[in-house]
Amino acid sequence: NAIPFLVLCGPVVPEVSREFAGVLCWSLVNEPDLPIHFMINSPGGYAVDGFAIISVIEELRKHGFKVNGHVFGQAASMAAIILQTCSERTMSTHDSIMLHGPSMGLTGDLRDIKAQQVFHTFATKQISSILKQYTKLSAREINSILSEDTHKYYDAKHALEKGLIDYIRGEP
């Protein structure tokens, strides 16, 4: 039996979320008793595509499947949020996690901009809910991450303390 591996190396974009869902379904049909290992080295990407991946992971977990997330390099932005929903989360001392609030580029007329503002509020609430559910970050810390115009970086030790990972690979 081959251990199912998925690799996210690059941005979270529509092609990645489609491929992720397809490979997960194939793995579950062909290797239903094995955990899936999701390797992440990503700068993040689109919220919609990240939420699609999160929906698949959470649905699988609800049905008893394991999807383990492993940072190799960096899990930044939406990739870091995806990581939080995995069954088991790991990183080594060489890796990092970066969190920040949603960002957007505005295009179109005033109606389009208002619609984008509504989605921005929705995305912020979703990310806040995920961080509250899966991490040890306080409500104040989450609010600070999502509302300030800064990026918050975590090394392995800090990520473990904040509940962003479950253990550091390579440590006893």
* C-alpha span between 23 and 36 (Å, rounded): 10
DSSP designation for 44? -
Break the chain down into helix, strand, coil percent, rounded to 5: 45, 20, 35
Give residue 121's pLDDT.
Answer: 92
DSSP designation for 87? S
* C-alpha span between 59 and 50 (Å, rounded): 14
Give residue 142's pLDDT.
Answer: 95
* C-alpha span between 158 and 136 (Å, rounded): 11
Segments of 23-125 assigned E as strands: 36-42, 67-76, 89-91, 96-99
Q: Rounded to two decimals, what is the model's pTM?
A: 0.92
Residue pLDDT tens, the chain, 172 long: 566 778 888 999 988 888 888 877 777 777 777 888 999 999 999 999 999 999 989 988 888 889 999 999 999 999 999 999 999 999 999 999 999 988 877 777 888 888 888 998 999 999 999 999 999 999 999 999 998 778 999 999 999 999 999 999 998 6
